[in-house]
Amino acid sequence: MASSSTTNSILSPSFLSGLANSTSTDSPRPPSLLSFLPNSSSSSTAVSIKLSDRRPRNNRRSLPVTNAAIKTTSSPSSTAAPTETPGATHDASRPTILVSEKLGSAGLDLLRGFGNVDCSYDLSPEDLCRKISSCDALIVRSGTKVTREVFEAAKGRLKVVGRAGVGIDNVDLQAATEFGCLVVNAPTANTVAAAEHGIALLAAMARNVAQADASVKSGKWERTKYVGVSMVGKTLAVMGFGKVGSEVARRAKGLGMHVISHDPYAPADRARAMGVELVSFDQAISTADFISLHMPLTPTTRKILNDDTFAKMKPGVRIVNVARGGVIDEDALVRALDSGKVAQAALDVFSQEPPPKDSKLVQHERVIATPHLGASTKEAQEGVAIEIAEAVVGALNGELSATAVNAPMVPPEVLSALAPFVTLAEKLGRLAVQLASGGEGIKSVKVVYRSARDPDDLDTRLLRAMITKGIIEPISDGSYVNLVNADFIAKQKGLRISEERIVVDASPEMPVHSIEVLMSNVDSKFGSAVAGEGGDVVVEGRVKYGVPHLTKVGGFEVDVSLEGNLILCRQVDRPGMIGEVGNILGEDNVNVNFMSVGRMARKKQAIMAIGVDEEPQEQTLSKIGKVSAVEEFVFLKL
């Protein structure tokens, strides 16, 4: 007996931007999607999943490694502008990558091997907008604000924004999504560095290291004034159990601390495996002796530590923040320090960076302040540079990045098995919309996934996004459509999608047995041949031997490889049809890859699917239409 699970949603970029919020070092990162690039050392063919069928402007398939161009400019205020590479020239055939803040040399070398690199530091917002229209990629750190105005000024050319670091609150994700610009970050390279800095601040705060150091250097010897507190046996609340938060928890456990955590998105089993108890927000802040912040800056978390939340804390609590400055109401923290509610604070980040010189918070005697050093180790800086350079080059090459924050992602170990189904999903969407008469009128789409796996174990976000891209791209009037902005465009068109997951008796090793796409309340270009019982356009496909296949069109069973282009003919079921249509194509020099016939015996009808490399000329299609037994036919671009 098959069982099913049904969900409905209006397609929008919200599930994409929601993922982005959890890509900070400070919260659990969503599963990542790795690029599958050709491996010349292997005889097998690697799977390549493209953001779009269109290649980025000025891009080439090969990655040149010599004669790279680097152009360097700087505003007068820049103090560390790079020098121009001798003999370097701008190659118009290669993409242009603007680097607006310092990046490690290893990362720059990777970028130079791929395109024209323009290192222009300390750009004003106006200068950035002027430059961006000639750039294919932009790499920033935390100091550059990538606003809607930047994306508008790019005029559709900007394909990827790379954040050399983790937090992406300085990038307008909504605008990036609307303009089809992929946003990538570098979430792994500085994880250990940030966690180490958090622990260093925790220990320095507990033992008054900074204050005692300043005292000794001023000629004093005040041993009794700087008596600290032990960390052993104390409760540490880790607020955000993502990459950095979990690493801080691991190290704190090693120091003998009792660790609890609040994170609504963290898997309970992962926390339990580390000996960490997940608790509510109020329970975490009210029972902790130390609080370490590792959450992203979002509208929900902005100033989440404020007068009200400080009031719920234990007297003498100590707070560390190596996440984002805006999560603390800094005026409220000063009041809590003055009252003694908060004994000490160690801060690496601030709501304004650098903070004002007369900042009461920075100058407070019970505050340790560092200038955003979380990722500032030699190893982390080089790692971040390499990680973001690889992500940007991959994106410019049309590949999905492992660190995309505004595109649906799945674990890399899952993607290797899911990859052919991703291709199948897009082609089924593209096929279905071409079979519908008047694609702009499509308002309701239902996707049915049949699988041997439990519905809760089947993550269909990427498949749904690819189906959406396949549907939207052919009806978007030449607009640039990719995996990033397909959902946004679908929402603008009022397209609704529902999903149903049905458990069937099939191989559990295959993530999906079949995918069916149904478009409701639309007329078909192909009449009853592709219509279900309710008049919907219906297509179904499977993956066979790693290749996407069309297995059902309306009520007809077929077996067609979804490669190249397709001619579908609805015909009277009689002998000789394959030869007759095949002769027409052969006479007009149309290369036929395959022909397949599906029958509906009770109606004495058949559907013939013909795979061709290129679109036949109009006169060739006209000849097919004049065959007496052919009732309807349609040419489909896959």
Q: What is the DSSP string of 482-508?
A: -TTTHHHHHHHTT-EEEEEEEE-SS-T
Q: What is the CATH number of domain 191-369?
A: 3.40.50.720
* Helices 191-206, 209-217: crossing angle, 10 deg rounding: 60
How does residue 399 score in pLDDT terms, banded at 50, 70 and 90? confident
Q: DSSP labels for 155-187?
A: TT---EEEESSS--TTB-HHHHHHTT-EEEE--
* Superfamily of domain 412-637, CATH level 4: D-3-phosphoglycerate dehydrogenase; domain 3 (3.30.1330.90)
- Dihedral over Cα of 543, 546, 548, 550: its sign: negative
CB 2, CB 452: distance < 8 Å: no
How does residue 35 score in pLDDT terms, banded at 50, 70 and 90? very low
Task: Give the C-alpha distances (Å, rounded to integers) separating 390 from 64, 67, 269, 295, 566.
Answer: 14, 19, 32, 26, 37
Token pair for 312: 């719920």
Cα–Cα distance, 601 to 341 (Å, whole number): 82
Token pair for 615: 């679109």
Q: Which CATH architecture has domain 56-189+379-396?
A: 3-Layer(aba) Sandwich (3.40)
Average pLDDT score over the chain = 81
Q: Which whole number is the average pLDDT over 24-49?
A: 34
Report the phi/psi class of residue 402: left, alpha or beta, with left for phi > 0 and alpha for psi in -120 to 50: alpha
- How far from chain centre, in Å, is Cα 112? 25
**Catalytic-residue membership of 324:** yes
Q: Answer yes or no: same fold for 191-369 and 412-637.
A: no
Token pair for 122: 């300390």
How many of the other CB atoms lie within 10 Å of CB of 13?
23
Tell me if residue 237 falls in helix, strand or coil. strand
Tens-digit pLDDT profile for residues 425-483: 999 999 888 887 654 567 789 999 999 888 777 778 889 889 998 988 887 766 677 77
pLDDT surpasses 70 at 78:
no
pLDDT surpasses 60 at 15:
no
How many residues does the structure list for the chain? 638
**Catalytic-residue membership of 372:** yes
State the pairing for strand pair 137-140/96-99.
parallel
Token pair for 13: 């970029």
- Dihedral over Cα of 543, 546, 548, 551: its sign: negative
Tens-digit pLDDT profile for residues 332-370: 999 999 999 999 999 999 999 999 999 999 999 999 999
- DSSP run (H or E) holding 65: none
**Catalytic-residue membership of 540:** no
Strands (E), 297-381: 317-321, 342-347, 367-369
Task: Determine phi and psi for 503, rounding to 5 degrees.
Answer: -85, 125
- Dihedral over Cα of 309, 313, 316, 321: its sign: negative
CB 542, CB 551: distance < 8 Å: yes
Tell me if residue 587 falls in helix, strand or coil. helix
Q: Which is catalytic among the residues 157, 372, 430, 513? A: 372
CB 462, CB 422: distance < 8 Å: yes
How does residue 590 score in pLDDT terms, banded at 50, 70 and 90? confident
Lowest mean pLDDT segment, chosen from 202-211, 228-237, 458-467: 458-467
pLDDT surpasses 70 at 387:
yes
Angle CA(472)–CA(474)–CA(477) in degrees, nearest 5? 95
What pLDDT is attached to residue 8? Answer: 40
CB 463, CB 422: distance < 8 Å: yes
What pLDDT is attached to residue 440? Answer: 53
Tens-digit pLDDT profile for residues 294-334: 998 888 899 999 999 999 999 999 999 999 999 999 999 99
As a 3-state breakdown, the chain gives helix, strand, coil percent values, each rounded to 5, of: 30, 25, 45
State the pairing for strand pair 116-121/96-99.
parallel
- DSSP run (H or E) holding 64: none
Q: Which of 277-291, 440-454, 487-501 has the highest mean pLDDT?
A: 277-291
Token pair for 624: 């097919």
How does residue 411 score in pLDDT terms, banded at 50, 70 and 90? low
Tens-digit pLDDT profile for residues 550-589: 998 887 888 888 888 888 887 777 777 878 888 888 888 7
pLDDT surpasses 80 at 89:
no
- The residue ranking higher by pLDDT, 257 or 456, is 257
CB-based contacts of 495, cutoff 8 Å, min separation 6: 11, 442, 443, 444, 445, 468, 471, 472
What is the residue extent of each domain of the chain? 56-189+379-396, 191-369, 412-637
pTM value is 0.64
